[in-house]
Structure 1
């Protein structure tokens, strides 16, 4: 270790003696009382400000940056008022007595101003967890800098280290790397979202190419961000080569499905076999593809459910794409009629019924054929085309209900199974026959 345990203990003792001397002074309690009073006034004023200010209409005519800053300041009104009160108290005590006797008030004012600046900067981040992490981390760094202990904290964190494959890892190095990674990935997300919006506006690109380009840009920007962040903190990427073997074994053992789904997703986007908006059937799942992700596709069913199907299943299993090359869909309706009916009349009624439906295409007229003379009646098959497979079951239901009404009007009966029971071994007893007839 660069700093011995003895030196660390001496630093702690010196800090403890300094704090003890400060607490023993009556000016400490005066400053502490002023800080508590300022906090109470700021809390009460914050409640009043929130009750009187309408956040939705605040500074509507101002430019967007100023409007955003005003809303952040109102949302942090207690901190802003506390900082203002502490600054006023600091100025008053500076002119009335020695500056050292208002040191705590100055520290409180600086901490409040630092928190306001951090809130203003982090308000542009959407992720709540990232906002909390960045806010707390930045405020701790600001607090250490304000009390003059930032260099000591940095030296302490840098004094503990482990060496792995020639790479010296310290807590300070890991903190710097993590902070730079967060900033780099946040900027990467902004850049990739901007590129995504531009790509999706391009009408000359197919949906599959759009999704493929977005994924390539996101992955490329993430790799560049990681490389820049690690290089900035002084980590030599060649020193990480020792981990490549372990990563390869991990991929081979535990990440096979993830890698397979990732590669399958790239294949699906490249060969354009499926694309967002297609109506597909995979196994028992049917619906429209609403999104294509790195690991899966999202298929939205008509009942509000969404099936998350791994990309590998679409490559290795049978997939029915109802809109691959043509959205026109053939609807088949099998039905039957009694032998008393005229089969030509039945076919004509079925064709007229299908033609009358508003979704039946006129380019390909409906057709009806007699398929079988069955035991229970004549069997027919009605086929017609619709321009889009959406709602195909509803179309079939409408046509079948209309066909039922047409049959009722023309006196055509739909056959149903009839069973005839014969009793062997003698007639029924007389008492039973009389009882039934009565």
Structure 2
């Protein structure tokens, strides 16, 4: 019984590839129709470059005049203008190839057909790759597709794949060929692109769902992202040939070891889920936590982004929002009551002062007149003035509290000026005990 010959090794594949490369070089250098086809291709490249110089400015001006076009179509025209030379070359190569195929032997237009195929493949890949937003993924996808199309057009794909499959890397009892690794990487890149498109589409759909609360929308978006990207990771690991059973045992052992070092991280993650479920805080709410006052910009897995009126963005850990006292100014509704303390002279009628203060507050744009109109009460009789408190309501705390109080104070000032109401200030009489004039007066009174 004859034994099967052993598969070719790395050296044999290298020799085969070098021989094919040498044959290609000799084919181009040997006079005849093959060399003529190379010259025709070079002439088409020069013609395409010349046409690009002549028409690039016209295409740019024509695109700028398309006022009613959507943005995606304008971006597509910009990409076409950047690749005008490749468009001209592909069109010219296909025309020459089809004409020569009809009027002469097919072998005399073979190289021109390869050049036309390569140019078309490069164009399609370049245009489709623009849909990938991530620059690194776009470059990996573009170069990988270009290399594959080039090897396929030159009919050396099978030998290249066999060569890559002969490069084996041993990882314990597992043997991985370079071809397997490349296939897995390409699969992961394709799945990442698909996952990004799916998560973006799901995010837009969930955020536009008015039947869900803002916190539930964020939770649903996070759940979709975790599910999709977990599927990508597991699929990539399986594509490399790893046994997920052993990986589960290893992850369990490692998880116990690192769990103690990641207590805060896990606490913040769990706190974030609790915040999303109980809907105590949601994007757009105005909160106060310690000295931080601002509105919720976004809810993250580990922290909450709070933007203050001065443009600062605080990243507050989720655990702090669970364990600390948080003032949510817009938890059930956006009605917020503000208090202003002021004083008026004893010579001014308190009834008139209260009426003037209420009328002045109502004239400020952000102050509500209904259902909770401003009120003013007497709070006490001070040393220099009668003390009052003015209470009013607003519905837009995210627009600031200090500025609305300042506007109300200015309205009170103007109203008091118009109605002759004075705002007293404390006055004190200071006496020096060692004053000679005072001492003489005291002596005379005593005598």
In which range does the TM-score fall when normalised by the shorter chain?
A: 0.7 to 0.9
| Alpha-carbon displacement from aligned partner over 1:3-35 (angstroms, at most 9, x marks no partner) | 645325533542453245235424576544433
- Alpha-carbon distance in structure 2 between the residues aligned to 1:139 and 1:56: 31
Of 19, 35, 51, the residue aligned with 1:14 is 19
CA contact (8 A) 1:166 1:239 kept: no
| Alpha-carbon displacement from aligned partner over 1:385-430 (angstroms, at most 9, x marks no partner) | 22342433333222211211222233332233546555565669xx
- Alpha-carbon distance in structure 2 between the residues aligned to 1:5 and 1:228: 30
Alpha-carbon distance, 1:375 to partner: 4.2
Matched positions, count: 427
Going from structure 1 to structure 2, the CA distance change for 1:42 and 1:417 (only over 3 Å counts) comes to farther
Q: Which residue of 2 aligns with 1:370?
A: 378
Pair 1:393-2:402 in alignment: yes
Pair 1:50-2:56 in alignment: yes
- Alpha-carbon distance in structure 2 between the residues aligned to 1:253 and 1:97: 77
Q: Which residue of 1 aligns with 2:416?
A: 407
| Alpha-carbon displacement from aligned partner over 1:310-366 (angstroms, at most 9, x marks no partner) | 333322333211011132111110112334444444333323333444522433343
CA contact (8 A) 1:350 1:368 kept: yes
Helix, strand or coil for the counterpart of 1:55?
A: helix
CA contact (8 A) 2:344 2:423 kept: yes
Pair 1:227-2:227 in alignment: no
Going from structure 1 to structure 2, the CA distance change for 1:58 and 1:181 (only over 3 Å counts) comes to farther
Q: Which residue of 2 aligns with 1:40?
A: 46
Of 118, 130, 136, the residue aligned with 1:129 is 136
| Correspondences of 1:278-297 after superposition (within 5 Å) | 278-297=285-304
TM-score by length of 2: 0.80
Deviates more, 1:224-233 or 1:328-337: 224-233
TM-score by length of 1: 0.81
Of 349, 363, 381, the residue aligned with 2:389 is 381
CA contact (8 A) 1:60 1:67 kept: no
Going from structure 1 to structure 2, the CA distance change for 1:243 and 1:136 (only over 3 Å counts) comes to farther
Alpha-carbon distance, 1:93 to partner: 6.0
Alpha-carbon distance, 1:253 to partner: 6.5
| Correspondences of 1:4-403 after superposition (within 5 Å) | 4-11=9-16, 13-15=18-20, 17-22=22-27, 24-26=29-31, 30-53=36-59, 54-55=62-63, 76-91=83-98, 104-164=111-171, 166-231=173-238, 234-241=241-248, 243-245=250-252, 248=255, 251-252=258-259, 256-358=263-365, 359-391=367-399, 392-403=401-412
| Alpha-carbon displacement from aligned partner over 1:50-103 (angstroms, at most 9, x marks no partner) | 3333336779899x9999988865553321211222334445666788766665
Helix, strand or coil for the counterpart of 1:288?
A: strand
Deviates more, 1:318-327 or 1:36-45: 36-45
- Alpha-carbon distance in structure 2 between the residues aligned to 1:58 and 1:426: 91
Give ranges in structure 2 of 5+ residues lacking alignment.
Answer: 1-5, 438-447
CA contact (8 A) 2:10 2:166 kept: no
CA contact (8 A) 1:59 1:70 kept: no
Alpha-carbon distance, 1:246 to partner: 7.0
Going from structure 1 to structure 2, the CA distance change for 1:261 and 1:140 (only over 3 Å counts) comes to farther
- Pairwise CA RMSD: 3.8
- Alpha-carbon distance in structure 2 between the residues aligned to 1:50 and 1:257: 58
